[in-house]
């Protein structure tokens, strides 16, 4: 019942998101929308591996960049006409990013968690530098994917809906994982890897699968980004800030929950763009953005979704206690309700 | 070739100093401070201001900038880091220090603008001939300073009561507090020391490179790589890794191509970690996590 | 029981709904803020709104700030000279914080929410290409002072115009000057080190070809990645090659400073030293390398603070009044940005309209436009081929030296370059 309502809320949000180009078709909104949707799926994908398994990756930019280059290189090599057909390359680009994730994961997933953070950064820079040095990536001059000749006012809409479709796919994928045996195994690894191994979880294989799925979704996001912007350059396709951004969005919303990364990206991407437009003069926006994060981390260390859950529970217990004086007690309403099937970070499904 | 090796060793010493702070902080507190890069730049700007406005020599200025950054470090630890719960501590510490990074970067941009700065002094431009190659005094002085400070750090860690507490906390925080070590205080001071070394690192960095607040991003990725290669928490490891990495990079740049030198720098880390997941001098953890 | 739960759940739905709404409201606030600042069809004396996105923070901030000065200077100048067809110019500058996603949003905001009537370009080729695409979709003329890289012209858009000379030939006056020296004076060796940047790297091969022909041997040629932090080994290798001429493909003053410092430390004094970018950034360059090292350093550019034409005198006078400082402290990019404004003003005047379509077709009409950088005339893809000049720092003055005998070139060229530390 509770779960169904959480789903209901998100359904409303998704219907609203689907209607954005119809209700407010202004290109500014739809272009912020495209980036927001890409970040929603990328943050979910990041959470689907790093949030569930506890292995914090700051190198997801590798998959984003790989997806961006894959779409561009294939579209150019196949001499594809600048039309919507290029969107069919998006899943293919995701697949290529997923393939890249196999050797990456094979090296990175064998080390301890805090070392993992740094090795993902290092591998990220290797990829960025390779994009500079190889000839098929166009080196420092980058590549320009075909750009459709659509009119300005509705140009963003196809990109918006493709990004939206990818998001729906992503949410269903990680929602399914969260409820599956595989998802439980990932959570078990987060809580106690040695114990999980002892209980017969094939740790490396599970981590690898999570990593590859995460890469697949992120690669699709990168592909849409490249096609939308109309160019790929090493420093912007393989953007070091990307990996940090998806992590921040997830932490902001609530790591390890389904709705956390969605909410984090849905709020932060528009806020960031807005702050940059408003306060960028004199770097003030860096200070505001940093301060905002410190506030969230200090006062809601587990992110928005779990903290809101805590507050609501607190209020409800408080109300219930007050009512207790009038009505008979009913403790059961307090337990076991959290948003949309999210399990708070302290509990685990491995009992 | 010889030139590459000498350059690598001298600059490696300075990187070792900056990285030692990072690895010390991690060892004691299980905190990865991505603000280390911006602290270095902050140190460089402070040295600049002292030199430009008060005519204080860069090395003498360290008597002011080192305590100043020590205080900054203590303030950051006290205000933010000590409030983090043990759970998800590493991840949360990355976020907190990243936020600190952004704020300091914004402040530096406002105070100093975005133009590039460089530190000037006679020893920056004059040089001496050694082994048939010219070496600038700043590299030699910088290396000596770094070596001196690292030695001092060693003495503090291994010859003082405080050092014993730090090492105890590095091995096991809980056990250390059980035998009467004030782990909180040790953590605060450690973060202060780990940050203070960036004042010296920043001065030398600023005298050998020109910089603005944005330079911190390049720095931090390198420092992290060095620290992990050496083994998180191992100061000796950071030292060895810094020198090794810079020698490799500089030699590759000279004999092959600067374009690939940076790739090699990062690939070296990947290669080492594939064979030894804890880094060159890392302690084998009792449990995987 | 069930009843009570339902009561709670509706509160929950309300709470979650309001979160979703908060996001929506934010977007709405953004929208209305934009619309409020917009103006519809211009009537007499109503301002003409011109939109620009600049990198005021992040990687490109040093240049973004220079661009801002250039555009503001032009708006002041133009407003003092009758504005655009009598309408005062109002600049709307947004910052993209050196981020591509922000850049695209910014130009779309400017065009569709702020309803700016005209736009001007951002900094650097990397940012020009996406801007070009947005401008093209909405039929806006994009006039730009720093695009320059070959990619900017690859799409063959009719609405893109670059007022600066394409980068590819910019080192040629330097190469030709060395190649035509009497055999006795002519250097025999040259070292090239260039960043793998789309702006610098293309300049090197044409210059190398000219010098090779004249018997100036290449003793070192290395490409380094843009994000290198330690230039010492590369600079030391250049020094070890003992080349008489050094050509540095730099993107900023910081790179040039690092090389110069390493050269000075190794007592390596090439006879000629040219860097593709950096020495033209005025006071920023002087503070990065130290005044006594500037003597003899060369850089290709189109404009410099003392360029001798009436337009430039007027502009520099205004600059000193507005921003203070000295002429030699002006950033080289200011000339290009100011020129973009002048070209836009000329097109508005020439076409008697602030309609983008008319401006575009006028700009393709083979007109020659006078700018502070010299005359500009566009070909079919919006390129102009004016003069390229080489400038040199001489006794803390930034002067034009090449091509020899060209208007504005001074007679003396510091060659060989003064020894480090003695060229103040």
- Give the ipTM: 0.80
For residue A35, which residues of chain C lie inside 8 Å, CB to CB? Answer: 101, 105
In Å, how far are A186, A311, B233, C196 from C204, measured between CA atoms? 53, 63, 46, 11
DSSP notation for C186-222: S--EEEEEEE--TTTGGGHHHHHHHHHHTT-EEEEEE
**Residue B223, domain extent:** 2-275
A113 touches chain B (CB under 8 A): yes
CA of A133, closest CA in chain B: separation in Å?
A: 7
For residue B114, which residues of chain C lie inside 8 Å, CB to CB? Answer: 57, 61-62, 64-65
For residue B109, which residues of chain C lie inside 8 Å, CB to CB? Answer: 57, 61
Residue B280: phi and psi, rounded to 5, are -60, -50
Give the chains touching A; criterion: ≥3 Cβ pairs < 8 Å: B, C
> Which of C13, C34, C226 is opposite residue A5, by nearest beta carbon?
C13
* Mean pLDDT of all residues belonging to chain C: 83
Q: Which superfamily is assigned to C48-166+309-376 in CATH? A: Response regulator (3.40.50.2300)
In Å, how far are A19, C24, C59, C339 from A271, measured between CA atoms? 20, 11, 21, 35
Specify the 3-state DSSP secondary structure of C408.
coil
Residue C391: phi and psi, rounded to 5, are -115, 160
Q: The domain spanning residue B183 has which CATH number?
A: 1.10.3470
Contact B193, B157 (CB under 8 A): no
CA of C309, closest CA in chain B: separation in Å?
A: 29
**Confidence at residue B47, expressed as pLDDT on a 0 to 100 scale:** 94
| B270/A117 touch (CB, cutoff 8 Å), yes or no | no
Contact B207, B142 (CB under 8 A): yes
| Residue B28 forms part of a structural domain | yes
Q: Where are chain A's structural domains?
A: 2-341
DSSP notation for A278-340: HHTGGGHHHHHHHHHHHHHHHH-TT-HHHHHHHHHHHHHHHHHHHHHTTSPP-GGGTTT--GG
| Residue B20 forms part of a structural domain | yes
Q: Determine the length of chain C.
A: 424
Count: domains in chain B: 1
Closest CA to C53 of B140, B148, A273: A273
Buried b (16+ CB within 10 A) or exposed e, B45-56: bbbbbbbeeeeb
CA of B281, closest CA in chain C: separation in Å?
A: 26
- Alpha-carbon gap, residue A132 to A127, rounded angstroms: 9
| Residue B138 forms part of a structural domain | yes
| Residue B82 forms part of a structural domain | yes
Which of A162-166, C42-46, C57-61 is modeled with the greatest confidence? Answer: A162-166
| C101/A29 touch (CB, cutoff 8 Å), yes or no | no
DSSP notation for A93-147: HHHHHHHHHHHHHHHHTTS-HHHHHHHHHHHHHHHHHHHHH-TTTTGGG-B----
Closest CA to C27 of A21, A289, A8: A21
- Residue A232, sorted as left (phi over 0), alpha (psi -120 to 50) or beta, turns out to be beta
Strand partners, C245: C190, C272
Looking at domain A2-341, which of 1.10.287, 1.20.120, 1.10.3470, 1.20.80 is its CATH number? 1.10.3470
- Alpha-carbon gap, residue C300 to C388, rounded angstroms: 7
| Residue B7 forms part of a structural domain | yes
- Alpha-carbon gap, residue A2 to A341, rounded angstroms: 8
- Alpha-carbon gap, residue C68 to C55, rounded angstroms: 9
For residue C289, which residues of chain B lie inside 8 Å, CB to CB? Answer: 118
Local confidence band at C62 (pLDDT 50, 70, 90 cut-offs): confident
| Residue B172 forms part of a structural domain | yes
Neighbour tally for A218: CB within 10 Å: 36
Closest CA to B197 of B63, B20, B45: B20
Q: Which residue stretches of C139-197 are H helix?
A: 172-179
> Which of A122, A283, A345 is opposite residue B269, by nearest beta carbon?
A122
C72 touches chain A (CB under 8 A): no
**Confidence at residue B282, expressed as pLDDT on a 0 to 100 scale:** 72
- Please report the sign of the dihedral spanned by the C-alpha atoms of residue C363, residue C365, residue C366, residue C369: negative
Q: Determine the length of chain A.
A: 351
Which of residues 163 through 222 in chain B touch A, CB cutoff 8 A? 217, 221
The pLDDT tens digits along chain A (351 residues) read 455 667 788 888 899 999 888 888 888 889 899 999 999 999 999 999 999 998 989 899 999 999 999 999 999 999 998 888 999 999 999 999 999 999 999 888 988 787 788 788 888 888 888 888 787 888 777 888 998 988 888 899 999 999 999 999 999 999 999 999 999 999 999 888 889 999 888 999 999 999 999 999 999 999 999 999 998 988 889 988 898 889 889 988 888 889 999 999 999 888 888 777 766 555 677 788 788 878 877 887 778 888 877 777 788 788 877 776 665 544 444 333 344 444 444 333 333
Nearest residue on chain B to A125, alpha-carbon basis: B266
| C233/B249 touch (CB, cutoff 8 Å), yes or no | yes
Both structure tokens of C254? 């910081």
Nearest residue on chain B to C259, alpha-carbon basis: B209
> Which of A5, A241, A273 is opposite residue C105, by nearest beta carbon?
A273
- Please report the sign of the dihedral spanned by the C-alpha atoms of residue C264, residue C269, residue C270, residue C271: positive
Contact C70, C334 (CB under 8 A): yes
Closest CA to C100 of A85, A64, A292: A64
- Alpha-carbon gap, residue C29 to C24, rounded angstroms: 9
**Confidence at residue A326, expressed as pLDDT on a 0 to 100 scale:** 60
C198 touches chain A (CB under 8 A): yes
| C31/A28 touch (CB, cutoff 8 Å), yes or no | yes
Give the chains touching B; criterion: ≥3 Cβ pairs < 8 Å: A, C
CA of B58, closest CA in chain C: separation in Å?
A: 16
User: Residue C260's Cα: distance from chain center in Å?
Assistant: 23
Q: Is the pTM of this model over 0.90?
A: no
Fold of the CATH domain C169-302+389-402: Rossmann fold (3.40.50)
In Å, how far are A210, B33, C194 from A54, measured between CA atoms? 11, 19, 42
| % of chain C surpassing 70 pLDDT | 88
* Angle formed by the axes of helices A27-46 and A2-23, nearest 10°: 150
- Judge whether residue B202 has pLDDT over 90: yes
| B211/C254 touch (CB, cutoff 8 Å), yes or no | yes
For residue B257, which residues of chain C lie inside 8 Å, CB to CB? Answer: 222-223
- Judge whether residue C88 has pLDDT over 90: yes
B126 touches chain A (CB under 8 A): no
Nearest residue on chain C to A144, alpha-carbon basis: C151
Provide CATH 3.40.50.2300 ranges for chain C. 48-166+309-376, 169-302+389-402
């Amino acid at each position: 019942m509770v779960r169904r309502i959480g789903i209901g809320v998100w359904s409303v949000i998704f219907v609203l998101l689907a209607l954005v180009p119809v209700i407010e078709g202004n290109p500014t909104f739809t272009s912020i929308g495209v980036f927001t949707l890409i970040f929603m799926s990328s943050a979910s994908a990041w959470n689907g591996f790093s949030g569930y398994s506890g292995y914090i990756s700051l190198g997801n930019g590798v998959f984003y960049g790989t997806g961006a280059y894959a779409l561009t290189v294939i579209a150019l090599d196949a001499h594809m006409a600048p039309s919507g057909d290029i969107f069919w390359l998006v899943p293919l680009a995701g697949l290529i990013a997923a393939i890249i994730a196999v050797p990456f994961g094979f090296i990175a997933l064998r080390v301890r968690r805090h070392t993992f953070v740094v090795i993902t950064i290092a591998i990220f820079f290797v990829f960025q530098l390779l994009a500079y040095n190889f000839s098929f990536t166009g080196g420092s001059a980058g590549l320009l994917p075909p750009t459709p000749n659509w009119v300005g006012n509705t140009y963003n809409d196809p990109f918006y809906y493709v990004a939206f479709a990818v998001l729906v796919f992503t949410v269903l994928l990680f929602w399914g994982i969260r409820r599956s045996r595989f998802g439980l195994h990932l959570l078990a690894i987060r809580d106690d890897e040695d114990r999980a191994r002892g209980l017969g979880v094939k740790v490396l294989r599970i981590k690898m699968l999570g990593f590859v799925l995460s890469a697949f979704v992120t690669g699709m996001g990168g592909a849409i980004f490249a096609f939308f912007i109309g160019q790929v350059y090493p420093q912007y396709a393989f953007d070091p800030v990307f990996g940090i951004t998806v992590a921040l969005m997830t932490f902001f919303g609530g790591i390890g929950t389904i709705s956390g990364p969605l909410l984090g990206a849905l709020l932060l991407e528009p806020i960031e763009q807005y702050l940059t437009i408003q306060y960028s003069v004199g770097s003030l926006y860096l200070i505001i953005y940093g301060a905002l994060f410190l506030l969230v981390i200090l006062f809601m260390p587990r992110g928005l979704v779990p903290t809101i859950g805590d507050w609501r529970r607190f209020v409800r217990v408080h109300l219930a206690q007050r009512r207790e004086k009038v009505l008979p007690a009913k403790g059961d309403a307090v337990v076991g309700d959290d948003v949309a099937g999210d399990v708070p970070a302290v509990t685990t499904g491995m009992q | 070739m010889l030139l590459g090796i000498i350059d690598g060793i001298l600059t490696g010493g300075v990187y070792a100093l900056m990285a030692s702070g990072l690895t010390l902080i991690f060892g004691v507190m299980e905190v990865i401070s991505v603000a280390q890069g911006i602290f270095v730049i902050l140190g460089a700007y402070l040295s600049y201001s002292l030199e430009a406005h008060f005519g204080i020599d860069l090395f003498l200025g360290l008597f002011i900038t080192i305590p100043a950054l020590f205080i900054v470090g203590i303030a950051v630890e006290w205000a933010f880091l000590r409030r983090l719960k043990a759970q998800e501590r590493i991840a949360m510490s990355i976020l907190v220090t990243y936020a600190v990074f952004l704020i300091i970067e914004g402040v530096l941009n406002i105070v100093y603008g975005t133009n590039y700065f460089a530190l000037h002094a006679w020893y920056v431009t004059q040089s001496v001939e050694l082994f048939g190659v010219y070496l600038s005094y700043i590299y030699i002085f910088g290396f000596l300073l770094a070596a001196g400070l690292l030695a001092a750090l060693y003495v503090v860690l291994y010859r003082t009561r405080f050092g014993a507490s730090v090492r105890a906390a590095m091995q096991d925080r809980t056990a250390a507090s059980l035998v009467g070590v004030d782990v909180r205080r040790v953590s605060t001071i450690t973060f202060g020391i780990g940050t203070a070394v960036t004042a010296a690192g920043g001065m030398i960095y600023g005298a050998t490179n020109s910089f603005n607040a944005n330079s911190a991003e390049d720095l931090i990725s390198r420092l992290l790589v060095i620290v992990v290669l050496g083994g998180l928490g191992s100061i000796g490891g950071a030292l060895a890794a810094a020198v090794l990495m810079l020698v490799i990079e500089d030699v590759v740049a000279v004999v092959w191509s600067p374009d690939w030198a940076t790739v090699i720098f990062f690939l070296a880390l990947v290669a080492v970690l594939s064979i030894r997941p804890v880094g060159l001098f890392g302690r084998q953890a009792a449990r995987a996590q | 029981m069930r009843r009570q739960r339902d009561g709670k759940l509706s509160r929950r739905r309300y709470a979650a709904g309001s979160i979703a709404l908060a996001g929506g409201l934010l977007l709405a606030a953004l929208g209305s803020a934009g619309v409020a600042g917009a103006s519809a069809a211009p009537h007499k004396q109503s301002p003409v709104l011109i939109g620009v996105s600049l990198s005021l923070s992040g990687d490109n901030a040093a240049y973004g700030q220079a661009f801002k000065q250039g555009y503001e200077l032009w708006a002041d100048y133009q407003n003092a000279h009758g504005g655009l067809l009598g309408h005062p110019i109002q600049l709307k500058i947004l910052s993209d914080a050196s981020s591509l996603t922000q850049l695209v949003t910014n130009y779309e905001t400017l065009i569709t929410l702020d309803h700016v009537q005209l736009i001007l370009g951002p900094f650097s080729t990397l940012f020009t290409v996406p801007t070009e695409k947005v401008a093209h979709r909405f039929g806006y003329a994009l006039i730009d002072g720093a695009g320059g890289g070959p990619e900017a012209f690859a799409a063959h858009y009719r609405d893109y115009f670059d007022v600066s000379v394409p980068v590819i030939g910019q080192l040629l006056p330097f190469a030709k000057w060395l190649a035509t020296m009497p055999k006795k004076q002519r250097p025999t060796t040259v070292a090239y080190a260039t960043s793998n940047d789309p702006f610098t790297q293309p300049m090197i091969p044409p210059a190398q070809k000219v010098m090779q022909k004249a018997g100036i041997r290449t003793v070192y040629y290395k490409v380094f990645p843009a994000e290198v932090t330690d230039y010492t080994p590369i600079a030391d290798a250049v020094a070890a090659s003992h080349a008489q001429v050094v050509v540095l493909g730099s993107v900023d003053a910081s790179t040039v400073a690092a090389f110069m410092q390493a050269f000075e430390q190794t007592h390596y004094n090439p006879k000629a030293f040219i860097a593709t970018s950096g020495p033209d950034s005025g006071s920023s360059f002087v503070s990065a390398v130290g005044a006594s090292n500037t003597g003899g350093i060369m850089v290709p550019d189109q404009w410099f603070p003392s360029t001798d034409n009436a337009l430039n005198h007027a502009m520099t006078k205004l600059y000193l009044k507005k921003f203070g400082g000295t002429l030699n402290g002006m950033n080289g990019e200011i000339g290009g940005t100011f020129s973009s404004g002048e070209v836009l003003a000329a097109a508005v005047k020439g076409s008697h309209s602030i309609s983008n379509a008319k401006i575009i077709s006028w700009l393709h009409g083979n007109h020659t436009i006078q700018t502070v950088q010299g005359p500009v005339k566009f070909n079919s893809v919006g390129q102009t081929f004016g003069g390229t000049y080489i400038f040199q720092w001489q006794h803390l003055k930034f002067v034009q030296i090449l091509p020899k005998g060209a208007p504005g070139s001074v007679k003396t060229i510091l060659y060989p370059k003064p020894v480090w530390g003695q060229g103040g």
